[in-house]
């Protein structure tokens, strides 16, 4: 759970696994799955006969650690195995991580089986919690057989999408660093421009105003604000970039890094969590507040011929990666099925 999440759909082999639909929370808008009813002891008691195991991916932040502990006790009483995927050792939606840390201790300590996305995160889990995780790579979330390779342009385009300025995005600091880096690169003769994109609706209006002031009159920088892009529009926007800047202050993994990899768009990112480990050859690190490090990251990221949107090299690289990623997704699904079967055998043996 949650069943409707793209990640859950991507890792599920529907030939062998049936994921129950997300129960709608009382009074929730259509399509809203949070707070997840599956984690409520009363729901589990009522539906235990319909379940073989519970796999938690997202949504646990809806409940306090004490409530999750009761969920774990209920699952144990009902003899339903708990599988937990450690996506976030640091929750990107939160600044204060105390509640998340407490929830992690409950879920990681109480799970019958753990998975995570990178070996580096698995090592952290073992060091902090004394538990071993099965490492299963983040699969592609894109279902299209073919992906765009971007629109040709004589100008090197670097983009950062600040979205709605959620807590782990330093929009002001990243924009200030990017503005200075682009100015310095252009002063040295680079034919380069940056686009800073922000959703119309944001969580921090003051930060959005500061970003506007920084980018609005900066040479070689374009500011875009609009409603949230749908999936197709986002893919098209990313595909037109020579490099994408990831503006994170904390976190563990990144779905954006995965989408950029699918599209053969190199990443310049802050070295937080284990995002760099997801696709190390495509990740070029910089520090917010250090424009020289961002200049270096941009230069390194845009060096490969396949980084150029609309080029034959980019088209070929996207196609190569697409084939590899679809094969990888099948292996990811097979690994999940095998994990579920082991968990069920272990529970039945107990």
Domain of 277, CATH number, reads: 3.40.50.2000
Position 325 in a domain: no
Cβ distance 55 to 28 under 8 Å?
no
Q: Which residues pair with 169 in a beta bridge?
A: 248
**Which contiguous run of DSSP H or E holds residue 135?**
strand 134-135
- 200 and 278 both lie in a single domain: yes
Position 1 in a domain: no
Q: Which structure tokens are listed for 241?
A: 């970039």
pLDDT, position 350? 59
- 338 and 287 both lie in a single domain: no
Q: Which structure tokens are listed for 12?
A: 């599920």
- 162 and 264 both lie in a single domain: yes
- 111 and 184 both lie in a single domain: no
Count of CB atoms situated within 10 Å of the CB of 144: 12
- 306 and 336 both lie in a single domain: no
Query: How many whole angstroms separate alpha carbon 320 and alpha carbon 323?
Result: 5
What's the average pLDDT block by block, 10 residues per block, for the chain (350 residues)?
Answer: 93 96 91 93 97 96 96 98 98 95 98 98 98 98 92 97 98 98 98 98 97 95 96 96 98 97 98 97 98 98 97 98 97 98 80
Position 309 in a domain: yes
Position 147 in a domain: no
Position 149 in a domain: no
Segments forming the whole domain that contains residue 180: 156-313
Query: How many whole angstroms separate alpha carbon 234 and alpha carbon 246?
Result: 15
DSSP states of 52-110 as a string?
A: S-EEE-S-GGGS-HHHHHHHHHHHHHHT--EEEEE--SS-TT-S--HHHHHHHHHHHHH
pLDDT, position 144? 82
Residues 22/26/28/30 CA torsion (nearest 10 deg): 50
Domain count within the chain: 2
Cβ distance 249 to 243 under 8 Å?
no
Place of tokens 């310049």: 268
Query: How many whole angstroms separate alpha carbon 143 and alpha carbon 185?
Result: 37
């Amino acid at each position: 759970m949650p069943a409707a999440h793209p990640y859950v759909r991507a890792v599920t082999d529907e030939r062998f696994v049936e994921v129950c639909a997300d129960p709608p929370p009382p009074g929730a808008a259509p399509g809203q799955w949070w707070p997840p009813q599956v984690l409520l002891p009363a729901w589990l008691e009522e539906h235990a006969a319909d379940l073989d195991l519970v796999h938690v991916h997202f949504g646990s932040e809806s409940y306090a650690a004490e409530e999750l502990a009761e969920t774990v006790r209920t699952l144990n009483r009902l003899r339903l195995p708990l599988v937990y995927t450690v996506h976030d050792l640091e929750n990107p939606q939160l600044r204060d991580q105390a509640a998340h840390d407490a929830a992690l201790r409950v879920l990681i300590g109480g799970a019958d089986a753990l998975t995570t996305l990178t070996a580096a995160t698995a090592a952290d889990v073992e060091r902090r919690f004394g538990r071993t995780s099965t490492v299963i790579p983040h699969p592609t979330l894109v279902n299209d057989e073919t992906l765009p390779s971007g629109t040709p342009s004589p100008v090197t385009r670097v983009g950062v999408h600040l979205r709605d300025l959620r807590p782990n995005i330093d929009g002001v600091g990243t924009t200030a660093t990017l503005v200075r880096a682009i100015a310095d690169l252009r002063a040295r003769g680079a034919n380069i421009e940056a686009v800073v994109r922000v959703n119309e609706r944001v969580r921090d209006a003051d930060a959005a105003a500061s970003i506007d002031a920084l980018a609005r009159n900066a040479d070689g920088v374009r500011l875009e604000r609009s409603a949230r892009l749908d999936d197709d529009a986002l893919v098209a926007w990313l595909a037109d970039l020579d490099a994408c800047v990831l503006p994170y202050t904390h976190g563990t993994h990144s779905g954006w890094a995965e989408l950029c990899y699918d599209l053969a768009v190199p990443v310049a990112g802050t070295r937080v969590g284990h995002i760099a480990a997801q696709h190390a050859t495509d990740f070029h690190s910089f520090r917010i507040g250090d424009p020289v490090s961002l200049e270096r990251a941009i230069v390194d990221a845009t060096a490969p011929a396949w980084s150029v949107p609309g080029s034959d090299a980019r088209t070929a690289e996207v196609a190569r990666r697409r084939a590899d990623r679809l094969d990888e997704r099948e292996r990811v699904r097979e690994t999940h099925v095998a994990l579920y079967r082991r968990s069920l055998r272990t529970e039945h043996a107990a």
